[in-house]
Structure 1
């Protein structure tokens, strides 16, 4: 597909997901050679109309240069003219391509020109031109509740596709949340007030995304590794995904792939690299080829980011709470927190990290801020963005929205935070949603 047409589909994806009726259009797309039967089967395997519409748009973006005009033609053939015209205008032409013989402008009758004294010169008032139709484009009409499930064909087992991961198992997968709040005084780490707010939000959110949520609180170093080993030994054959969320203090740790480490409540830290290795293809065969997501709310080090000046129109003023705290170990002891055996274990067992995404609440080496009354900046915005966009946007887009939202906040009016991720996913990932 031409880049400009792909951009049009992406710009109007929400409109298409809201109003498109895939059941009417699939046969036309198949007969015109836009889609193969396997692609149609993949679209129809989605349970809801919105899910089918979303998959149809994703598949269109992966096809050839002649797909866009054929798609518009199919829309008109199935009386979905509002959507066709919406997309047509995005292509720079607002009239249907199927009726090129109709003029866009109709001149009104005019009087004979008034000649001047010289016969080879004359002047006249140009005729007024009347548009064939109003200039404003029709807006897609919202579907009635009853139409949400109309036209949904019988589903069949959905196969993995080249565009996106299979994410329709029920439950979709296991979501393990490790919430470390109360730390041993000997660890020199403060209790993480406000972390229970984060935990509650994420537990509710991932249950709404159809995950089996397991919450573990106040785990020591060895217990963190034991829980990861237990998850790795489970049979994930019936699941499509696995999510691990860690809410704890963090510190710097350099590894081959994923930096950082998270602390047990007794003080010692487990490298993020080691945590991800438990679920790689070698150690957890039933998750091979399936997305494995790790969301880390912890500091990446002891540096505080004071930001840099930008023009006023680039920043939305936003201040953190007065009770903002850092999820970091004291800087003086951060370099001594990783034992030699843990570092060797992480490096010795590292395979290619395919189908893994690690999202960090902050850039490696920097602190992560948490409001003791409202929870962490990262989790608060992650929960909000998932609620608003999980039904329409893929995980990569969602995390980018979170990055932007967190970057606008300031702790104590001075310090900033920048989340980021190490993405080794091979496909787009769309969560299940009650709105899908």
Structure 2
């Protein structure tokens, strides 16, 4: 598209977003070859009418020299003449108004015998001569053009958001492994029921249909994931899987880590995510798949490193509260290191997937038997406070920050993290109370 046309679209973007009905022009732009069906579907999935209008205008800028005039034709054809005239006015190059130029008066030659002529009356004083090429007056800069130059950086609204309009938003499968077989040599996970109850209530409040499964063996975990993958998610906009269990390392080429069944064997996180990819679950293609894993990333304890007082938020009081929650007995059961490590990603990962881990690969994940795990407690609190206003990636950074400032026994630390392969911003569809 011509630079001039791009500038017009950008200057008039506010009016277009407020007033354009994009649904009316889709067919016209499609028939003229400006957009394809896939591109129009992508625009439709960007959200409500204003979101679609904003995305349509942005996409027009990438569609070649024919896009602008074709858009004007579509506006006229659909009765949106006001918007068309708005753009046409902007399309017209302003015609400079010439400054009034007074010609220089040149004295005529006068015969010598015509002494009666009063030459001084027609002679122009030199200081009053007006130049033929007057100095142009300064032109005030166009306000919109000035704003464009200042806002050339990518803005947040240039990133699309996932459509989250279905009710319920989707299925949330919550697997809570608490009591492990003695043959597995894994301890029971005291306090995990507290995590399960918090997350069940939280995701119901976030407009999900929650399915809770407790104490699943290896094959049962895979069976429940298979059942979830075979469901028809066409009427939903999202899918969530939460697993609370012991964890371990696992061979992988995409997502690190694995979670144990109560009988001992573990299911790699990579396999867990594969159940819901586009090939195995077509009805979730292009839709966000969210996985939350409360499990250790390994057996190593993180003692952290010293920082200046300025690096610790003054409002953070959970350090003392967490220490107070630890029983004074010498037993380590009050804070169970109930999970294990992960590996590293090496190959490209499927899109529209986010996996949030309670701890950094290789390190333990702490859980208080009276309050639940640090990660779940913090995640629940952040979702409660911020889900109505912030996107998921931003909230997970908040979780990282808060958990990083907690200490076990005043010494050990924990750092959550996530593998984010979402293509758009993700906002929960919060229910109004």
Which TM-score applies when normalising by structure 1? 0.61
**Aligned counterpart, 1:31:** 15
> In structure 2, which of residues 407, 423, 427 is the aligned counterpart of residue 430 of structure 1?
427
For 1:411-422, list aligned pairs within 5 A. Answer: 411-422=408-419
Contact 1:178 1:219 in 2 (8 A): yes
1:214 counterpart SS class: strand
Contact 1:172 1:211 in 2 (8 A): yes
Contact 1:29 1:35 in 2 (8 A): no
- Residues 351 and 363 of structure 1: is their aligned pair in 2 closer, same or farther, counting only changes over 3 Å? closer
> In structure 2, which of residues 334, 337, 342 is the aligned counterpart of residue 326 of structure 1?
337
Q: Distance in 1 between matches of 2:46 and 2:218?
A: 46
Q: Distance in 2 between matches of 1:304 and 1:227?
A: 32
2:271 counterpart SS class: helix
CA displacement, residues 60-88 of structure 1 (integer Å, 9 cap, x when unaligned): 9x899xxxxxxxxxxxxxxxxxxxxxxxx
> In structure 2, which of residues 168, 190, 193 is the aligned counterpart of residue 193 of structure 1?
190
> In structure 1, which of residues 268, 281, 284 is the aligned counterpart of residue 281 of structure 2?
284
- Residues 43 and 327 of structure 1: is their aligned pair in 2 closer, same or farther, counting only changes over 3 Å? same
**Aligned counterpart, 1:314:** 311
**Aligned counterpart, 1:154:** none
1:205 counterpart SS class: helix
Q: Distance in 2 between matches of 1:368 and 1:33?
A: 47
5+ residue gaps, structure 2: 1-11, 25-42, 61-157, 327-333
Larger radius of gyration: 2
**Aligned counterpart, 2:396:** 399
**Aligned counterpart, 1:301:** 298
Q: Distance in 2 between matches of 1:352 and 1:418?
A: 22
Q: Distance in 2 between matches of 1:179 and 1:275?
A: 15
Instruction: Give the deviation of 1:185 after TM superposition.
Output: 1.0
Q: Distance in 1 between matches of 2:209 and 2:181?
A: 30
CA displacement, residues 98-135 of structure 1 (integer Å, 9 cap, x when unaligned): xxxxxxxxxxxxxxxxxxxxxxxxxxxxxxxxxxxxxx
Are positions 1:250 and 2:247 aligned together? yes
- Residues 351 and 419 of structure 1: is their aligned pair in 2 closer, same or farther, counting only changes over 3 Å? closer
> In structure 1, which of residues 163, 179, 182 is the aligned counterpart of residue 179 of structure 2?
182
Q: CA RMSD in A?
A: 3.4
Structure 1 runs (4+) deviating above 4 angstroms are 32-36, 39-46
**Count of equivalent residues:** 292
> In structure 2, which of residues 147, 151, 162 is the aligned counterpart of residue 165 of structure 1?
162
5+ residue gaps, structure 1: 1-27, 47-51, 65-160, 339-346
